[in-house]
Each structure stands twice: as structure tokens, then as C-alpha cells.
Amino acid sequence: MSLAVCVGWAATTWIALHLQADTALHTAALFVHLASLVLGFGAVLAVDYYGVLWLTGRKTLREVLDFTAPLHVPVWVGLGGLLFSGAFLHPDLGSPLTCVKLGLVLVLSLNGVQASALHRRLTAVSGAPVRLSLLIRSAVTAVVSQAAWWGAVTIGFLNSQH
């Protein structure tokens, strides 16, 4: 899965370098980009919020896993939509800020692959006490997720001001 994420990221970066979208395609891509942000990031916020509820003892692990399992699909659909549509939004790949954003997108994508594996590991715990290493991994996964998503969103907003 990590290889597929890297290939998808590289392909959309290549498209951004080699394709110039006309006004109609740019407008459609912007709509898809914003809709994908709502879908993907909204699902991520729900997953991470439930993770915090578990880490603070307000939800059981089983409740969190049952709630978050179906949210993996909208996260990945949203992220894929962001990647694909972003290639048609004329990103300035010569800008250091845009390069940081692309790096954050790759980080959050690979973190998503890791989060899926973590979800499977936590599901396998099946009522037993969760090891400290899995607790730490859960917290780090959420922090990386939020930092990368908010960083990419912030840079996208800043870039849209030019």
C-alpha cells in the first residue's frame, strides 16, 4: 500500500508539472478539491476525535474501532480526490511552500497506511489490555495526522491568496 501511495503522489505531481488546465477544468478541479477536503479531513477529524475519547477513557477500544472502521473509505476517497484534483489547480512547484505542502501530503498519506495497520493491530487486541507501545503509536499517529492535515490546509489557504 505504501508503494501505491508513493506512485499516486508521484503521478499527480507529474501531471501538475506537465498539464495546464483551462478555466473550466480548473473550476471543476477546485470544486472537487474542496469537496474532497470536506470528505477526507472530516472523516480524519472524526477518527482522531474518537481516538482521543479512547485515550482519555471516555470510550472503549471496541467502541472506537467499530465507529472508525467504516471511516477509512471516506478518508482515502477524500485524499485521492485531493491528490487528483490538486494536479489541475496550477500548483507552483517552484515555490518552497508548495513543496512543503506536497511533502505534508505524502507524510499524511503514508501515516494513513500506518494508521490502517494500527487499526488492525488494535482490533487484534480483542479485549486484552493495550500495550504502552500501541498507546504511544496511537497518539503519535493522531499527532502526525493532525499536523500534516492542518499544515497542508494552511499552506493551501496561503497559496490561494496569491
**What is the rounded radius of gyration, in angstroms, for the C-alpha atoms of the chain?**
17
Residue 162 has pLDDT above 90, yes or no: no
Residue 126 has pLDDT above 90, yes or no: no
- The pLDDT, as a whole number, for residue 128 is 84
- The pLDDT, as a whole number, for residue 127 is 77
pTM of the model: 0.90
Which residue is it, cell 473550466? 24
- The pLDDT, as a whole number, for residue 132 is 92
Collapsing DSSP to helix, strand or coil, 20 comes out as coil
- The pLDDT, as a whole number, for residue 97 is 95
Q: How much of the chain, in percent, has pLDDT values that exceed 70? A: 100
- The predicted-structure confidence for 36-83, as pLDDT tens digits, reads as follows 999 999 999 999 999 889 888 999 999 999 999 999 999 999 999 999
Read off the pLDDT band of 114 (50, 70, 90).
Answer: very high
Number of residues assigned to the chain? 162
Show the DSSP H helices in the chain as ranges. 2-18, 23-55, 61-68, 72-86, 96-125, 132-160
- The pLDDT, as a whole number, for residue 73 is 97
Q: Say how far apart CA 53 and CA 113 lie, in whole Å.
A: 22
Terminal Cα-to-Cα distance of the chain (whole angstroms): 35
